[in-house]
Structure 1
Amino acid sequence: MPPTPLLRHPRRLAATLLTGSFLVGGLLTAPTAAAAPSAAATTAVRVNQVGYLPDGPKRATVVTTATQSLTWQLRDASGTAFASGATVPRGADAPSGQSVQVADFSSYRGSGSGYVLTVDGSGSVPFDIRANLYDALRSDAMAFFYHQRSGIPIDASLVGSAYARPAGHLGVAPNKGDTSVPCQATVCDYSRDVRGGWYDAGDHGKYVVNGGISTWLMVNSFERAKRAGKDTALGDSTLRIPERDNGVPDVLDEARWELDFLMRMQVPEGKPYAGMAFHKIHDAAWTGMPTRPEQDAQPRELHRPSTAATLNLAAAAAQCARVFRPYDAAFADRCLSAARRAWTAARANPTLYAPDSDSTGGGAYGDTQVGDEFYWAAAELYATTGESGYRDAVTGSSWHTSPTAFSAYGFGWADTAALGRLTLATVPSGLPAADRDRVRASVTTAADGYLSRMAAQGYAVPVPADGYFWGSNGEVAGDAIVLAVAGELTGNERYRTGALETMDYLLGRNAIGQSYISGYGETSSRNQHHRFWAHQLDATLPNPPAGSLAGGPNSALQDPVAQEKLAGCAPAACYIDDIGSYSTNEVAINWNAPLAWLAAYAAERTSTGEPPTGACTVTYKTDSFWNTGFTATVTAKNTGPTAVDGWQLSWIYPAGQRVTNAWNATVAHNGTTAVARNADWNRTIEPGATVSFGIQGTHSGTNPSPTAFTLNGNACA
């Protein structure tokens, strides 16, 4: 079973983090960001401060003690009203500790800038409604990784003069360098060239378990976009990186910077634990703040190999071999060789765990439950090679059928079984059809759980009330990925709606009314915990660049600043934009990676912004009716130009009827909404073809027929 969420995320010890003039008695004494978490909120009307897509959901949360519906109006910069309606009271929202109502203006599909939503005399911050809303964030969230590169100068022509810097950790004084790094005492008797890669978070460490999942997400983003025929926006010359215009998609070029590092961390042949991966490399002691990478004088150390790190290497390198092959076959071969060696080594050393005590100078990233990593690595190797040995490792794993592969707390560096499921659900393989369908169903079941949780909360957040732990914003973005993939598998628009609403949360529709993404929104995070984006500590240094995601609310309050400033906070409000609050306000590659994935997905043009035209017709015929029950036949016709592969038909019963039995389909309820899904044998509806199924249900005196049907997210005539 996955470890408990509060134990898997902490990476820092407060007493060792900050050194020099900024640490007095164990507490940060430099000027800190303003006061209480609620100070960030400038209005009771909480919106996505960047804006909304014309064809996407448009909801706001209103903090109010009113119990009756309130009138909302959508106005432009000139004050002209374009839409109005009534809010829906939600009452007490436990995670935020607030009483709230929700305004839904999704029906407005116009475009423009400077919109304000007014409710009960209070107005939101201005926002836009436009189709290209997320184009800049797609680029900036990905540019985060170039900024975090180790072992290469950061070019002013690509990032601007404020963020340019010399290469870090190449052995140029005062650096000891990463080109010949010795092991910790007793670990090994040689040195390794482990230059390159990304600095993991706000320090100068590099960790294989975080690098593996972050690289996987970056490459998976491209693989998903390519399946959808929308990979052009992630192609060559689309990012601000030195490798642009080389014939390789830029997102893969950026991933390769980390993949090269991950493979350098593999123990060479002829050495003990050959094929395994060293767990991490970082300074011998915590680096002081602020310190730019090229100024770091600390000695660097390799830490003992671990099974978890080795399986991260196997999974990321196997995925590399599959996705890079059309662009660089030689590199793909090198990745596959490394993946095979790592898999074999991990099988030979299945319990070599990184100790939680190894937390001096860097996070421990301890993980003693690695069955999920074995499953993930096997899934990637099988998807890439199709070989029976890897297939057997997949189907023989308890994680292949475990209901906790998609946990309530999402996936992360310590919980990776979901990544294997996502690959098996989306990459063609030789899995039997029934097995493949079960894996796909597990994705949609997880997504349905996230949607249910969002529907039950005033701020539409997919995490549970006790899910605000270290890196909760990364968890939110990861859940959005599951929602997006469920939409890809089913064609159901509600999953895309859910994924986009998580972006609303990250960009200001949240308990404190603040965007957690630097440079985006009227009130956005700007003092994230970082060694060299440290303007709050040194005015000559910059704030984090646009597109950097703060860790987010953490109810455990695991740093001195949070403990002092946030005592008594509601879980979803346990955040402060202060550089000293590393447990709520650090950045990390494994949080920005799902953000970059989500931003690329949100930036895709899915329509013209107009309501979708009918691609289906439905007839609903009541066959029999008695005092408490009824039977009916439902027939759906595909009137669109392409086949429907896997269908879901939903409708709302006007009198609250409930389906109790069905044939030729499975039917479940979400309140008054009935949702029918295909059987194994009738999953495909060709253009012009129909599919029928029967239902039996109950009623309470009246039994009017439903009149509105939706097939895979499209309204039917």
Structure 2
Amino acid sequence: MSAFDSVRRHGRPLATALLASSLLLGGLLATPATTAVRVNQVGYLPDGPKRATVVTSSTQSLTWQLRNASGTVVASGSTVPRGADAPSGQSVQLAEFSSYQGTGTGYVLSVDGRDSDPFDIRANLYDGLRSDAMAFFYHQRSGVAIDASLAGSAYARPAGHLGVSPNKGDTSVPCQSGVCDYTQDVRGGWYDAGDQGKYVVNGGISTWLVVNSFERAKRAGTDAALGDSTLRVPERGNGVPDVLDEARWELEFLMRMQVPAGKPYAGMAFHKIHDAAWTGIPTRPDQDAQPRELHRPSTAATLNLAAAAAQCARVFRPYDSALADRCLAAARRAWTAAQANPSMYAPDSDSTGGGAYGDGQVTDEFYWAAAELYATTGESTYRDAVTSSSWHTSAGAFTPYGFGWADTAALGRITLATVPNGLPASDLARIRSSVVSAADGHLSTMAGQGYAVPIPKDGYFWGSNSEAADNAVVMAVAGELTGEARYRTAVLESMDYLLGRNAIGQSYVTGYGETSSRNQHHRFWAHQLDASLPNPPAGSLAGGPNSALQDPVAQEKLAGCAPAACYIDDIGSYSTNEVAINWNAPLAWLAAYAADRPAGGGGPQPTASCAVTYKVDNAWSDGFTATVALKNTGTSAVDGWRLTWSYPGGQRVTSAWNATVTQSGADVVAHNADWNRAIAPGATVSFGVQGSLSGRNPSPTAFALDGGACD
């Protein structure tokens, strides 16, 4: 990604986004107190992966010990050397303690005399984050007072931008000169990020993710956790799932941004609304005295409206048919208007007072909108638009750098892969295969890194944390489509990264972890600048490492940083430490997914129904052979199997027989051969491996069959 591309994804060109950050260079710069033993500082699920990264110059395996809160050693083992980790610039080893499934608080992992931050192991680990990550959107609401009983007294504030002095208000907003000759009521919606602008292209993808989190949970049978009276929203108790109530606040705004009938470009959507000049920092929303302006309609914004409104019509219909009808009518009008105006591009130069969100390619938005309209209506017009799109067969719908507000084809693919529709079976199989292939690419990226991050070395640009989260969403969808537990494992490891197992040993989520971000760039949550104002509320995701260093604080304090370490928790570092709705949306999606009980793949986690015997048959100075016997101890036949384990001594598999065996780092995966895929209850199949070793040959201690632990 070029520097231009990295800025483009958030829409804040450097030359116009300096704000008042030069005043912040002498301010307090928080430096995380890191430990060499990097863990998820919140904790781990009892039946999930439990891995830590250890920063060390040692090239030999080290001993690790897991201690509970009373100091008792409850598990121990040896690390696996990984050597140089390119994104972080560090030499690392991995400690694997997934086989321990006890629960409690205050665990510490000790490696070679160095202790990790304390963490928990519990089944309800993500319940709080599920609520807090979603509450971020209530905090960001425009046009309504934020209630202390819901948000906490520190975050209560009057309604912003309703025309109450000194606000000019969003109830009667004029256009920029030459754009239109009327005013529009565009109140409501979510403030986009650390500023107080509202952008349709960012609102579209964010709303889609919030609603899709409910759609996914409903398929998995876990939607009750997002149902009515489960979240901190003022609409709780109205019979509508709270997550949909929150999404509706933005949907209503998006529809207000549609050009009225009888006006030029009727049915199109204005691209954005914000202050005429950059809002000063700090400024509480209700105290913003600047005039507000509507910016010219764009094809990208119009298609975002079409896609989000079509999804609304589908998902809201069981709860509010009148809203569903309004959404579908708005989506149809937007689609027709976009077809009539297919190349009204938002320019990168429109960046005074707010992000440009320029996008000169909208074929992906056409594909996404057509997919949503087809999934909702089943109509041939939209089906033909889907199947004739170049994105329908393009391998580029998913990239290593994730989807985003400027790259939306993947959203259309996910909808077509998961929402029942009338496409031919062969077409659906190809679509679903593309999701799984993209997820496999992310798995491969993670396997090649010491911190298991689902983004490549050159992917640390503006909002890199959302890139990691978006790619984790793709892996979660792959898990749903295939039922394979390895995707859920990867999603949980991605959460580990966001919550402290990373190059700087810091949780990027406010309020979660021993050392967490607390000074994100924001106009109201600006405690670092004004002690009377709060820090960001718990559950707010910082943008994350950005190797382009696009603000003065980052340029001064992070010069020479390795890509994965180009982050500083300072309110002035808007290029590494801002918040945004399109970053918190995938975090909320993932938190809800991780909190699922039963969890994963649309059903319960597999239970142990197997026993494994691992026997070293022969060993020599630098190699060995071993036989693995897998017994089906359950009551149902196994049809196709995938056995996994980790080598604790750095062994490497060089060949295998009677199974297909692959290895990534310490982790080994064995798939059945064609002839031994079926294992009757009580029956056993065996296969062999040959491997290399370096002095030690300890046997694996834990095995899992399709994600369920074996005896």
TM-score by length of 1: 0.88
Q: Deviations over 1:82-130 (max 9, x none)?
A: 0000000000001001000010000000000111000111001111111
Deviations 1:5-25 (A, max 9, x none): 425225335565566xx66xx
**Most deviating of 552-561 and 427-436:** 427-436
After superposition, residues 389-408 of structure 1 pair within 5 angstroms as 389-408=381-400
Give yes or no for the alignment of 1:247 onto 2:255. no
**What amino acid is aligned across from residue 262 of structure 1 in structure 2?**
L
- Counterpart residue identity of residue 145, structure 1: F
- Residues 5 and 409 of structure 1 are in contact (CA less than 8 Å); yes or no, is this contact kept in structure 2? no
Query: In structure 2, which of residues 519, 522, 527 is the aligned counterpart of residue 535 of structure 1?
Result: 527
Equivalences for residues 84-233 of structure 1 within 5 A: 84-233=76-225
Deviation at 1:437, TM superposition (A): 1.0
Measured after TM superposition, the shift of residue 656 of structure 1 is: 3.7
Q: Equivalents in 2 of 1:15, 1:651: separation in Å?
A: 51
Q: Tell me the amino acid that sits aligned with residue 538 of structure 1.
A: D
Q: Which amino acid in 2 is paired with 1:33?
A: L
SS of the equivalent of 1:482 reads helix
Quote the residue 2:8 is aligned against: 8
Aligned pair partner of 1:713 in 682, 692, 707: 707
Change (3 A) 1:321 1:346: same
Counterparts of 1:77-88 in structure 2 under 5 Å?
77-88=69-80
Q: Give deviations 1:286-335, integer Å, cap 9, x for gaps.
A: 01110000010110000011111111101100000000000001100110
| Matched residue, 1:521 | 513
Q: Deviations over 1:383-415 (max 9, x none)?
A: 111111111111111111111111010111011
Residues 322 and 452 of structure 1: is their aligned pair in 2 closer, same or farther, counting only changes over 3 Å? same
Counterparts of 1:445 and 1:438, CA distance in 2: 10
Quick one: distance in 1 between partners of 2:237 and 2:433? 40
Name the counterpart of 1:657.
Answer: 655
Relative to 1, partners in 2 of residues 1:592 and 1:173: Cα closer, same or farther, differing over 3 Å? same
Give the alignment of 1:28-43 within 5 angstroms: 28-29=24-25, 31-34=27-30, 39-43=31-35
Asked whether 1:544 is paired with 2:536, we answer yes
Which amino acid letter does the alignment assign opposite residue 149 of structure 1? R
Q: CA deviation at 1:511?
A: 0.3
> Judging changes above 3 Å, is the alpha-carbon distance between structure 1 residues 655 and 175 closer, same or farther for their aligned structure 2 residues?
closer
Looking at structure 1, the residues matched to 691 and 83 of structure 2 have their Cα atoms a distance apart, in angstroms, of: 29
Q: What secondary structure is seen at the aligned counterpart in 2 of 1:138?
A: helix
Aligned to 1:54: 46
Corresponding residue for residue 628 of structure 1:
none
Q: Let me know the Cα RMSD of the aligned residues.
A: 3.4
Q: 1:643 to 1:142 in 2, by over 3 A?
A: farther
Aligned residues of 2:7 and 2:462 also touching (Cα < 8 A): no
CA distance in 1, matches of 2:388, 2:641: 31
Change beyond 3 A, Cα 1:440–1:639: farther
Q: Is 1:349 aligned with 2:341?
A: yes
Structure 1 residue 673: Cα displacement = 3.9
Distance in 2 of aligned mates of 1:552 and 1:71: 32
CA distance in 2, matches of 1:540, 1:452: 47
What per-residue deviation string (whole Å, max 9, x for no partner) do you get for residues 135-194 of structure 1?
111000000000000000000111111100000000001111000001111111111000
1:10-29 map, 5 Å: 10-13=10-13, 16-17=16-17, 26-29=22-25
Question: Does structure 2 conserve the Cα–Cα contact (< 8 Å) formed by 1:212 and 1:313?
Answer: yes
**Cα distance in 1 between the residues matched to 2:4 and 2:641:** 34
What's the CA shift for 1:271? Answer: 1.0
Q: In the TM superposition, what whole-angstrom CA distance separates every residue of 1:667-716 from its partner, at most 9, and x where no partner exists?
A: 795667454699xxxx9x9x9899xxxx9x99999xxxx99997643468
SS at match of 2:457: coil
After superposition, where does 1:402-421 map in structure 2 within 5 Å?
402-421=394-413
1:508 is aligned, of 500, 508, 512, to 500
Tell me how far 1:563 sits from its aligned partner.
Answer: 0.3
Q: Answer whether contact 2:499 2:509 (CA < 8 A) is retained.
A: yes
Q: Do the aligned partners of 2:88 and 2:564 also contact (CA within 8 Å) in 1?
A: yes
Pairing of 1:422-461 with structure 2 (within 5 A): 422-461=414-453
**Alignment of 1:469 onto 2:461:** yes
Q: Aligned equivalents of 2:637 and 2:476: distance in 1?
A: 21
Q: Deviations over 1:582-611 (max 9, x none)?
A: 000000000000000000111112379x99
Matches within 5 A, 1:548-697: 548-606=540-598, 612-614=606-608, 649=642, 656-657=654-655, 673-675=669-671
SS in 1 for 2:357: coil
Q: Following TM superposition, by how much is the alpha carbon of 1:32 offset from its aligned partner in structure 2, in angstroms?
A: 2.7
Q: Which residue of 2 aligns with 1:266?
A: 258
- Quick check: 2:654–2:689 contact (8 Å CA) kept in 1? no
For the residue of structure 2 that corresponds to 1:241, the secondary structure is coil
Alignment identity in percent? 76
Cα gap change, 1:351/1:675 in structure 2, threshold over 3 Å: closer, same or farther?
A: farther
Cα distance in 2 between the residues matched to 1:65 and 1:302: 56
Shift of 1:238: 0.6
| Letter in structure 1 aligned against 2:229 | S
1:322 pairs with one of 280, 291, 314: 314
Partner of residue 630, structure 1: none
> What secondary structure, in the 3-state scheme, does the structure 2 residue paired with 1:332 have?
helix
1:501-532 deviations in Å (ceiling 9; x for gaps): 01110110000000000011111000000000
Which residue of 489, 492, 499 maps to 2:484?
492
SS in 1 for 2:154: coil
Partner residue in 2 for 1:624: none
Q: Is the 8 A contact 1:156 1:164 kept in 2?
A: yes
Q: Give, as a single letter, the amino acid of the residue that structure 2 aligns with 1:556.
A: A
Q: Cα–Cα, structure 1 residues 14 and 387, in superposed 2: closer, same or farther, change >3 Å?
A: closer
CA distance in 2, matches of 1:106, 1:288: 48
Deviation at 1:272, TM superposition (A): 1.1
User: What is the alpha-carbon distance in structure 2 between the residues aligned to residue 707 and residue 548 of structure 1?
Assistant: 38
Unpaired segments ≥5 residues, structure 2: 613-628, 646-650, 693-699
> Contact (CA 8 Å) 2:476, 2:487: kept in 1 or not?
yes
Question: Which residue type is aligned with residue 47 of structure 1?
Answer: V
CA shift for structure 1 position 3: 11
Q: Secondary structure at the match of 1:177?
A: coil
SS in 2 for 1:40: coil
Distance 1:259 1:465 in 2: 36
Asked if the contact 1:171/1:178 (under 8 Å) is kept, the reply is yes
CA contact (8 A) 1:534 1:579 kept: yes
Q: CA 1:294–1:59 in structure 2 vs 1: closer, same or farther (change >3 Å)?
A: same
Partner AA of 1:88 in structure 2: V
Amino acid of the structure 1 residue aligned with 2:509: I
Question: Relative to structure 2, which stretch is displaced further, 477-486 or 137-146?
Answer: 477-486
Deviation at 1:42, TM superposition (A): 2.5
Distance 1:344 1:711 in 2: 51
Return the offset for 1:483. 1.0
Task: Report the CA distance shift for 1:382/1:13 in structure 2 as closer, same or farther (over 3 A).
Answer: closer
AA partner of residue 516 (structure 2): S
Q: In the alignment, is the contact (CA less than 8 A) between 1:55 and 1:607 conserved in 2?
A: no
Amino acid at match of 1:417: A
The aligned residue for residue 623 of structure 2 is: none
Tell me if 1:331 matches 2:323: yes
Secondary structure of the residue aligned to 2:60 is: coil
Determine if contact 1:616/1:640 at 8 Å carries over to the other structure.
Answer: no
Give the whole-Å Cα distance in 2 for the aligned partners of 1:642 and 1:657.
Answer: 28
